[in-house]
């Protein structure tokens, strides 16, 4: 799950980035609103954490621009503006949630998990291909109704492939879902995840198109 963090407080941004990455999220941080809009145009994140007090443009203008790009993109406003009027303005402009500073990290994580479950429900709460079933809400995978253990990143790779059954997913596309910008990633990282998945899944469930990427054929 890729998060775009738009926050100009560098100390807070660094702490949040470390915490969220430890929880298995891919976090990309930007300090300016215009940069965030441009980034979303190029590569739409799975969710956005948005500060309103940015140095170049107001966060509400960023929110308006993001809503023009996507009506469904989950956006959580994270700001020191904590009056009822500020909350109403943010929510009326299309924010999905609002968290006032200072806040508890556990509360932020709980709200992000709600975003994850909601996004999974909108796409595919339950995905079944052949004898493999993936439950996005519970983060579980079953083969012949037997629960198999996957790491978070293995789960995200399999989810991306199953949601796009019949369509090739390149290595770069899969990496963008798993890792942050600038994060050092070994050249064979995706291949390693695929290798581990294949040990746990039926033979030939994930197919390789050499030089292109990976695909799961719809049953």
With H, G, I as helix, E, B as strand and everything else as coil, classify residue 142. Answer: strand
User: What is the reported pTM?
Assistant: 0.66
Residue-level pLDDT at 120: 61
Residues 8 and 116 both lie in one domain: yes
Residues 139 and 65 both lie in one domain: no
Residues 83 and 176 both lie in one domain: no
Residues 129 and 116 both lie in one domain: no
Which of 69, 100, 121 represents a domain boundary (last residue)? 121
What per-residue string of b and e applies to 178-212 under the rule 16 or more CB within 10 Å gives b? Answer: bbbeeeeeeeebbeebbeebeeebeeebbeeeeee
- Domain containing residue 211: CATH number: 1.10.10.10
Residues 115 and 14 both lie in one domain: yes
Which of 99, 121, 143 represents a domain boundary (last residue)? 121
Residue 213, number of CB atoms within 10 A of its CB: 18
Counted domains in the chain: 2
Q: What is the pLDDT along the chain (219 residues), one digit of tens a residue?
A: 789 999 999 999 999 999 998 888 889 999 999 999 999 998 889 899 999 889 999 999 999 999 999 988 999 998 887 777 777 877 888 889 988 888 899 999 999 988 877 766 545 556 889 999 998 767 789 999 899 999 888 998 998 899 888 989 998 888 887 877 766 667 788 999 999 999 999 999 999 998 889 999 987
**Range of 184's domain?**
125-215
Quote the CA–CA distance of 127 and 108 in Å, as a whole number. Answer: 28
């Amino acid at each position: 799950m890729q998060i775009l963090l738009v926050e100009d407080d560098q100390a807070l941004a660094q702490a949040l980035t470390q915490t969220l990455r430890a929880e298995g999220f891919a976090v990309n941080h930007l300090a300016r609103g215009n940069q965030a809009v441009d980034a979303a145009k190029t590569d739409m994140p799975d969710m956005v954490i948005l500060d309103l007090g940015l140095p170049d443009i107001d966060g509400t203008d960023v929110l308006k621009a993001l809503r023009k790009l996507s009506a469904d993109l989950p956006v959580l406003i994270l700001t020191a503006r904590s009056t009822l009027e500020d909350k109403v303005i943010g929510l009326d402009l299309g924010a999905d949630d609002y968290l006032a500073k200072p806040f508890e990290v556990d509360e932020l994580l709980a709200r992000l998990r709600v975003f994850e479950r909601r996004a999974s429900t909108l796409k595919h709460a339950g995905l079944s291909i052949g004898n493999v079933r993936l439950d996005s809400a519970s983060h579980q995978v079953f083969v012949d109704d037997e629960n198999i253990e996957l790491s978070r990143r293995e789960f995200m790779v399999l989810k991306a492939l199953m949601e796009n059954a019949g369509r090739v997913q390149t290595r770069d596309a899969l990496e963008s879902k798993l890792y942050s910008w600038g994060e050092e990633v070994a050249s064979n990282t995706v291949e390693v995840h695929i290798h581990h998945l294949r040990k746990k899944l039926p033979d030939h469930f994930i197919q390789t198109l050499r030089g292109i990427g990976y695909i799961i054929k719809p049953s």
